Structure 1
Amino acid sequence: MGSTLDQRTFSQRRCGRGGRIVPSTSMEEGRAMTAVVQSEYDEYVEAGRIWGLVPRERIRKIKFPRVPKETIDRYLAIDDLTTSVSDVLDSLGIVGTVAASHLKPIGVGQKVVGPAVTIRNVLERKTPTQGYHDKDFIRMSTRDIYYLSEPGDVLVTDTGGNLDVSNMGGQSCTVAKTRGLAGSIVNGAVRDVSTIRELGYPVWSCGVTPLTGKFRIEAMELNGPVQVHNIRVEAGDLIVADDSGICCVPFEHVDRVIDEIERISTDEARMAELIVADAPLDQLRPLFRKRYTG
């Protein structure tokens, strides 16, 4: 797979007050991407998959490579999944883990693995009262992303960690589940927690709130890069989540990570057998050194 410092590392720039990292794109690349998205957008309009709540120019990608189901199943078969993924990401020099102390699961005992689809939100400038008075159209776009998504995708929403305003609630999660999404990661707050739990739809969020996002949140970009706590996520990256937190595996490292996890898991299973059998230290030390000293 080559160096862990992939080409994306060298094509980043900082912008905005928060120093958000986004990939640099040449004007030629931007025009080509726009032409592709325009064509795919028209195709999805014909297929009845465009709600139109967000301007088309804010959709960065529609079709992109996704991790095969066979690979996703290999991840799902791993016990203590995020801890295993986090260890391998560390060994590769990749920042890709957020603890459950920052992004808490709404349900307990759920495990999700799937390709990321993304939304980047900002807060509206108007007050909600003014929005109602002006009869504004809602600018949240979860409906758009649900119908652009494929079954098994994981929605990753970035609202800068805002804890006051809801990014999604029970009805939104009902649509997501009906459309076949595997779960949602929200760098912000959600509401209707009891409904979400009853649905059994997996959601991780920074917090909960009763306050609607209607007339408070505007979607600025779909399927572009987003930041979730301290990690960067791009459409197509593999999202892994369980009770311990979430991990993002860059698309180009997905196979390498699961190969390494499976190798380590075999060694750890053998070590567990030896520990239970109260094996002598001279049998444990080689496996210990192999696991913890590389």
Structure 2
Amino acid sequence: MKPYLMAEPALRRLELTITRRLDGLLQGEHLGLVPGPGSEPAESRPYRPGDDVRRMDWNVTARTNEPHVRDLVADRELEIWALLDATASMDFGTVAMEKRELALSALAAIGFLTQRTGNRIGVHLLHGGGVRTLPARTGRPHLMALLQAAFALPRTQPGVSEPLIGVAADQLGRTARRRGLVVVLSDFLDPPPTWEQPLRALAARHQLLAVEVVDPRELSLPDVGILTLIDPETGRRREVATGSARLRRRYAEAAAGQRDAVTQGLRRAGAAHLRLRTDRDWVRDLARHVMRQRRLAALATGPARQGRPPEGGGDAA
């Protein structure tokens, strides 16, 4: 069967699951995926303790001889770019789904929720054949076409040279010229020094969300006797005796160190970090992340609203 014929019913079921569940978990039309009230400059006002000094309006400060900051307002139309890692390491999963399926589901959730308000979404697909760019446009038909293109990507054959996630992020930075939201969905197994700087460059201009996808077998090794391991990117095989408690402990320690390096690298890059696992309820984890970022955004804008009358002139609810 042709890939797009298989994708259509699968994506419709995914859309139904996402919209039903997230509509029940989240309230409101705007999806606060990362902290911050917006990216478009608004009017200046006097500085108050707690304001972000990065929003200082130096021109007004120089004219009035009093510190001023410039508020930010949320964009009515947001441009969203996603970088979906579909390399060989993502074709792995031991529980409910593969990592690539989980990343695609997360991309679909972000797309279905943000396209309601007329936002544009585009995607870079990182695959064994290189990086494929699909331009940012509005509307559900466009979103479904993006997801179908991602769904139809074939598996990469072992030994095929693949671009690094950092190379794809650098290319995305040259494509996404308008300020907006950038979402990177990957297992981030490439060494952090190869992607940290490109992500930092994206975060300097855009709101950046890094969605890390993880399978539990990447974190701990079960005792299942002799296990044949295959590197999906090189095709190399190795037999491992999992009955060794020392081996399982060393594996868990190395895995924990790798995940910590990813966390620290994303923090240094300035990205909001969401970790999704193939053995967890990823929809609920996504909703919790959104609610947590909304609370952070509310705290960030709190000082700016102190001393202001409520909108509409009435009493605050």
Q: Give 1 or 2: higher helix fraction.
A: 2
Asked if TM exceeds 0.5, the reply is no
Q: Which has the larger radius of gyration?
A: 2
TM-score (norm 2): 0.27
